Amino acid sequence: MYAIIGIIVVFGAVLTGFLMERGHITVLLQFPELLIIGGAGAGTLLVANPLRILKKIGTGALSVFTGKSAYGRERYLATLKMMYELLQKARRGGMLTIESDVEQPEQSPLFQAVPEFVNDHHARDFVCDTLRMVITGGVEAFDMDQMMDLDMEVQHQGAEEPVTALATMADSLPGLGIVAAVLGVVITMGALGGPAEEIGHKVAAALVGTFLGILLCYGLVGPVSQNMAKTSAEEHAYLYVLRVLMLAFIRGQPPVVAVEMGRRAIPAHVRPSFSEVEEACRKHAEPEAAPAQPAAPGTR
């Protein structure tokens, strides 16, 4: 929503300022120039990237305009609660008790409580594959940490591919605007000797090409790629929290300490408070059997 508002502000401010200088809006409506710049930019995108990256670009750009951040405060709180229940179950009954959960996460009641986690195959596989190795045994905590770090690096590189591709396209738009302007100058040179009004119109059309290339670069495509980059960074931060949490448990920390270490790794603007996490974990923790009370003297 904010992305749409931002783009409206950018184009609205530019057009309003142009009109305040008594410019004619029809002069900017140069569809041939827009076709040259937009078509050539889309063509460079097709040449430089395989189909899988093009699909990611489409999905990422669409999410910029239609969705909000998937990694908000509620998501982190629900994840910490889910991981606390999972690790508590493993601590009480042994790692084999969570084998069915990590082998079939779509059918696990613990994971189903957080649909965002189940539907996020990157995070789901990251947790389940790590815990599979823990259940198998024989892997040191240091090696597990290295394994998770490699997994995160590969996923981050994959998430950055569409961002880099779109940013490269944005960088090419000013140059393509100059191409459109040069073509306009060529056309203008062919019209020399004609009416001054016609020559002026062709010169204006040529300059609009440069204007559109710069505006689309810095006012639309560039900001969209930056928004996608921030989404990629949010996903990386989410996986880092899971990594810190699981590594603490693998090193022998109790679930409550592991969850607190994970909470401390959450970005400050979406980090739930200690009391919020404590209340959520206490509310959903498995009830422990109360110890038997000794009989009072003289009673049977």
pTM, entire model? 0.84
Q: Please report the pLDDT score of residue 269 as a whole number.
A: 93
Residue 289: is its pLDDT beyond 60? no
**What pLDDT was estimated at residue 200?**
79
Give 47's pLDDT tier (boundaries 50, 70, 90).
Answer: very high
**Mind listing the pLDDT tens digit for each residue in 65-81?**
887 778 999 999 999 99
Residues 6+ apart with CB under 8 A from 54: 45, 46
Q: Is the pLDDT of residue 191 over 80?
A: no
For 113-119, the CB contacts below 8 A with 24+ separation are 113/78, 113/81, 113/82, 114/78, 114/79, 114/82, 116/70, 116/75, 116/78, 117/78, 117/79, 117/82
Structural domain spans, the chain: 31-284
Q: Is 125 exposed, middle or buried (0-12, 13-18, 19+ CB in 10 A)?
A: middle
Mean pLDDT of 93-107: 91
The DSSP 8-state label assigned to residue 21 in this structure reads T
Residue 230 has pLDDT above 70, yes or no: yes
User: What are the Cα distances from residue 102, in Å, to 41, 105, 224, 274?
Assistant: 45, 5, 36, 27
